[in-house]
Structure 1
Amino acid sequence: MTIGVGKTKFWNVSQPGSLEILHATNVLVSSSRYTHETLTLGIINQRTALLSSKQKLYSISVDYIVVINPDDVYTCHT
């Protein structure tokens, strides 16, 4: 995953279950095929994100929340 210039914070909540949270401001992200071992939430608050998962391409607008299941393979570009 490539993360451009900006400000980021990362949290890993291990109880109950497991959850990873990334907050990024003014950041351009580009990832090749990627997966997480935990449930992943993404909130789009700037720009539009392009997410590809399970052979489908999604254009995600501002104020949308993305939920990615553990071990799902995806790519993301903002």
Structure 2
Amino acid sequence: MTKQPTVLVTGASRGLGATIAKKFGTLGYAVIVNYFKSEVKGLAVVDAIGNRHAIAIQADVCDKQQVTSMIQKSDATI
């Protein structure tokens, strides 16, 4: 069985990041929507994707431990 392709989009709660995340969703990818401050905006992007394989995860990508935790959470969820 082939696992669904997955993409992590950082800064995906707004602007260009949100646009990129939504596009990958329309192409059938599982999408990890990374946000730093706004959970509400991150969840709105997940809702806009409308893909049951999209999740929003908070992490500061400048912090290695937070990035590692984000990847672990996404592996467990998607």
Q: Give me the TM-score of the superposition, normalised by structure 1.
A: 0.30
**Higher relative contact order by CA 8 Å / sep ≥ 6: 1 or 2?**
1
Structure of greater Rg: 1
- Decide which structure has greater helix share: 2
- Decide which structure has greater strand share: 1
